[in-house]
């Protein structure tokens, strides 16, 4: 008597036919998520496209170049119509405001430099939207992020994208193992963004040549201060620009107009040495400036850690890893010294400049592509 062979795994990792595999695709209206949806539809999967409306639709219609604007909702719907799968627009405006925008405003007012895209992935896309996908009886949810999910000896692992220039691991460090079980990232293995656009052209998508979004979706033209002033009227209180040695050098119109490491636009010209913002003292309404060497630090306090290593974070006193403290910087050698399951002190082997509370510190396997998690930088030095 022959033993029946198990069905082969499909491209999403399920032992059944694509037609019997339902996948919800998070569609922003851009080329990346559109290609994911089109590719899975062509492969025969039961695709359901979902686009999130994250802020006022009327305002969105007047604004181009952001991931969730009205034109993007239209583009996502058009791709779904072309490829023949259902598409839904979900109103997540209140969820987005409570989970992302309000904290962004409050963090900025507290002198931090927040990264709202991480919170959006963590609290909206990979939480509420993922739950919606499960409510739709989906087997998994796919996104257009440039990151890889690989099966390891202890389950799914998060790995950097093949194309280091497109890698989005810095923004996805807070993905939990439970979320990773349900998520799929079909673009992470592609060699370049050009390869994605070639696929879009192959599928005949109108968004094949659509430019990438550069801004945070609710911050047009990168003007953080104007957004904060609308969200928190009166927040831009004037104060003094003070040298680290105590000298008063000038006046400013609000701490929210400055970031750690800023050199240009300080309004204190005529000084012999170049000065940088080294501290934002919200309580004293002071912008503290000093020489560049004051920006260097080796010790980074991190909390709210999401750990993705195989052994518990606290199972050893030190972890020798690589870390990123800015999305645009390459990983550098570091030592993590756990204080608890969710807090640690990170020692950078080479000092970094311009590290600010509110940014993420993301952990990587030394010499490898695996993401070991990360946390939030939370106080000055």
pLDDT per residue as tens digits for the range 313-358 = 999 999 999 999 999 889 999 999 999 999 999 999 999 988 889 9
Q: What is the pTM of this model?
A: 0.90
Asked if residue 75 is part of any domain, the answer here is yes
Phi, then psi, of 238 in degrees rounded to 5: -70, 165
CA atoms within a 13 Å half-sphere pointing along the CA-CB vector of 302: 32
Give the separation between CA 36 and CA 45, rounded to whole angstroms.
11
Catalytic residue numbers, as ranges: 120, 217
pLDDT for res 69: 54
Residues 136 and 122 placed together within one structural domain of the fold: yes
Q: Encode pLDDT of 250-301 as tens digits.
A: 999 888 888 888 898 888 876 778 899 998 888 899 999 999 999 999 999 9
Does residue 132 share a domain with residue 73?
A: yes
Domain at 275, CATH number: 2.30.30.280
Q: Is residue 24 part of a domain?
A: yes
Burial 267-294 (b: 16+ CB within 10 A, else e): eeeeeeeebbbbbbeeeeebbbbbeeeb
* One domain, residues 271 and 122: no
Mean pLDDT over the full length of the chain: 90
- Work out how many domains the chain is built from and give that number: 3
| Least confident span in 89-93, 149-153, 264-268, 319-323 | 264-268
Q: Is residue 135 part of a domain?
A: yes
**Predicted pLDDT of residue 65:** 46
Q: Are both 263 and 367 inside the same structural domain?
A: no
Residues 285 and 300 in one domain: no
User: Does 316 share its domain with 369?
Assistant: yes
Q: Are residues 172 and 37 in the same domain?
A: yes
Q: What is the mean pLDDT of residues 20-42?
A: 97
Cα distance between residue 317 and residue 19, in whole Å: 49
Domain membership of residue 113 as a residue range: 18-221
């Amino acid at each position: 008597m022959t033993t029946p062979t198990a069905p082969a795994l499909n491209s999403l990792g399920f032992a059944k036919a694509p037609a019997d595999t339902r996948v919800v695709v998070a569609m922003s209206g851009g080329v990346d998520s559109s290609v994911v949806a089109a590719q899975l539809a062509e492969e025969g999967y039961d695709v359901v496209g979902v686009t999130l409306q994250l802020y006022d639709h009327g305002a969105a219609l007047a604004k181009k170049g952001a991931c969730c604007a009205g034109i993007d909702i239209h583009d996502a719907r058009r791709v779904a119509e072309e490829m023949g799968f259902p598409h839904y627009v979900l109103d997540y405006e209140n969820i987005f405001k409570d989970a992302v925008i309000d904290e962004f405003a409050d963090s900025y007012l507290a002198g931090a430099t927040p990264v709202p895209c991480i919170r959006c992935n963590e609290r909206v896309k990979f939480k509420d939207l993922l739950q919606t996908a499960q409510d739709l009886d989906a087997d998994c949810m796919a996104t257009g992020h440039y990151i890889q999910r690989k099966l390891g000896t202890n389950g799914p692992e998060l790995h950097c994208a093949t194309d280091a220039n497109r890698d989005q691991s810095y923004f996805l460090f807070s993905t939990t193992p439970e979320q990773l079980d349900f998520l799929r990232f079909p673009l992470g293995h592609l060699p370049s963004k050009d390869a994605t656009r070639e696929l879009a052209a192959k599928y005949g998508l109108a968004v094949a040549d659509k430019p990438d979004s550069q801004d945070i979706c609710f911050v047009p033209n990168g003007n953080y201060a104007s957004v904060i002033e609308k969200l928190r009227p009166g927040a831009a209180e004037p104060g003094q620009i003070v040298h680290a040695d105590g000298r008063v050098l000038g006046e400013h119109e609000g701490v929210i107009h400055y970031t750690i490491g800023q050199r240009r636009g300080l309004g204190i010209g005529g000084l012999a040495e170049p000065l940088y913002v080294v501290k934002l003292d919200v309580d004293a309404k002071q912008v503290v400036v000093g020489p560049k060497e004051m920006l260097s630090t080796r010790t980074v306090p991190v909390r709210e850690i999401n750990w993705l290593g195989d052994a518990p974070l606290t199972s050893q006193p030190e972890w020798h890893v690589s870390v990123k403290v800015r999305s645009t910087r390459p990983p550098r050698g570091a030592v993590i010294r756990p204080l608890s399951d969710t807090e640690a002190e990170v020692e950078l082997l080479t000092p970094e400049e311009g590290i600010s509370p509110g940014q993420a510190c993301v952990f990587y396997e030394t010499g490898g592509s695996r993401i070991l998690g990360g946390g939030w930088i939370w106080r000055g030095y």
